[in-house]
Structure 1
Amino acid sequence: MSRELLIREATASDLEAVVALHGADALGAHGDAWTPDSRTDYERAFAAIARHPDHTLYVAEAGGEVLGTFLLSFLPGLTGRGALHAQLRSVQVRADQRSGGIGARLLAFAEAEARRRGAAVMELMSSMRRVDAHRFYERHGYGKTHFGFKKRFGPA
């Protein structure tokens, strides 16, 4: 990639592009789409993230285009003598930009921020269908240590 990549906190003006990244994700299949009907839902969710000091939505941009995103959250716990856990969620790189180093840059940025905040561990979940993503995370030192379970309470 010849353009300089900037990783920064997302702003409300990034929301449409972030939602488009998630909407283009065939494996995730969350049905995300920026529409007149859904816009207020995404704006409300972003406002909740933005006002909480333990959650930050980030974007990776180059040339004014959003090419990637992730949500970084911090969770206190009692295990590990009260260790702070960082949780990496909703990681996306635009399909035409994958395998170009953006994912590695996002991961390195998130890890540096987690260390800066004093986290003892970084956790992430990845769909069982994302075999390529699993290999990517393993190459970057992440191990498969748990099974994840999910129970839906509504349409989301």
Structure 2
Amino acid sequence: MPTPDFVLELRREIGTAPLPLVGVTAIVLRENRVLLGRRSDNGALTPVTGIVDPGEEPADAAARETLEEAGIVCRVERLAWVHQLPRVVYPHGDQVDYLDLVFRCAWVSGEPHPADGEMTEVGWYDVDTLPHLELPDMRRRIEFSLAPEGVARFEGGR
């Protein structure tokens, strides 16, 4: 996955120190199916995810990432979950603390395909018979997005 230019610029200043970033997860629904893709970096089956660019609205980032990664135009319907991911330490030493914003999205148009190389395959999966998802909280991201209405869930508050 290519590292955004703004992250590379920050890394020149802070090295591998922990960097807080805002990430988005787009749970794109079409009837009773959810859009999932196989990531090219680690082979995990996941919904579309990405990093919010500086000055970008998070919901716009979710829609942008969906189009860039899967060739799907979606409409963001609502925020479903806000949670802090455990610190990620990449093999080259960079540390990142992602605040993830999960959005429920509706399919508008397009057929799924690996549009930019970040995924090796993309398709629709029945929400009632989801395959195994390798990354820890991906199933929760989908489950929290399936409720047709409701307020966003927030972690913490200890």
TM-score of Structure 1 vs Structure 2, range by shorter chain? under 0.3
More helix per residue: 1
Higher relative contact order (CA 8 A, sep 6+): 2
**Given the two structures, how large is their TM-score scaled by the length of structure 2?**
0.25
Higher strand proportion (structure 1 or 2)? 2
Structure 1 length normalisation: TM-score?
0.25
